[in-house]
Amino acid sequence: MEISASQVKELREETGVGMMDCKKALKECKGDVKQAIDFLRKKGIATAKKRGGRQTSEGLVQSYIHAGGKIGVLVEVNCETDFSAKTDDFANFAKDIAMQIAATNPVSVDREGLSAETLEREGEIYATQAKESGKPEKVIEKIVEGKMKKFYSEVCLLEQAFVKNPDNSIQDLVTDLMAKTGENVMISRFARFQLGESDDS
């Protein structure tokens, strides 16, 4: 049976589980979200969301150098135990995140990392564009909302599509790793350097 995007979204919000696992669960349960939640809980992967508040004092700092030494990235990824930090899954995840940052040049890890000024400026630009193209007042808000969503998906690392598999967001990767490790996982901070670029460029 065909599983809709809204069913997948609902299940992801309820469980914190990655998109592909949600799709599989919904197919197994013929589209029944409640049954799919139980299905995922039985598999032990629907508890990832509940781990979100646990302390992450272990992890690693991963580096990535790209384009013949012209772009360099450092990213700090945290988890709860040294044991998880030393697994191949965790190391590969950190490498993928560093590579993602090199490729997409995000501004912050998430929306909280963006300044109020930045958000205000973007919103004003989109509203002005909509007004000038003659759009009626009542649809301008919707247009701005849609454009802000796209803006977040470009500049916030967690909301970006994963370059190796655009069907998944970086948040999906985090959630999947949380399910695998049974621990809270967090991308804390990153720095990206591009040859010839100054900090204020």
Fold exhibited by the domain 115-154: GTP Cyclohydrolase I; Chain A, domain 1 (1.10.286)
Query: Which residue intervals of the chain are DSSP H helices?
Result: 5-15, 19-28, 33-43, 82-85, 88-104, 116-132, 137-155, 170-181
* Mean pLDDT, residues 55-72: 89
pLDDT in tens, 68-119: 899 999 999 999 899 999 999 999 999 999 999 999 999 999 988 988 899 9
Structurally, what CATH architecture does the domain formed by 52-110+156-194 represent? Answer: 2-Layer Sandwich (3.30)
Residue partners of 60: CB distance under 8 A and separation at least 6: 76, 77, 85, 90, 91, 94
Residue boundaries of the structural domains of the chain: 5-46, 52-110+156-194, 115-154
Q: Using the predicted structure, report yes or no on whether residue 141 has a pLDDT greater than 50.
A: yes
pLDDT score, position 201? 41
pLDDT bracket for residue 183 (50, 70, 90): confident
pLDDT score, position 50? 56
How many angstroms separate the CA atoms of 77 and 89, rounded?
12
CATH of domain 5-46: 1.10.8.10
More confident residue, 162 or 34: 162
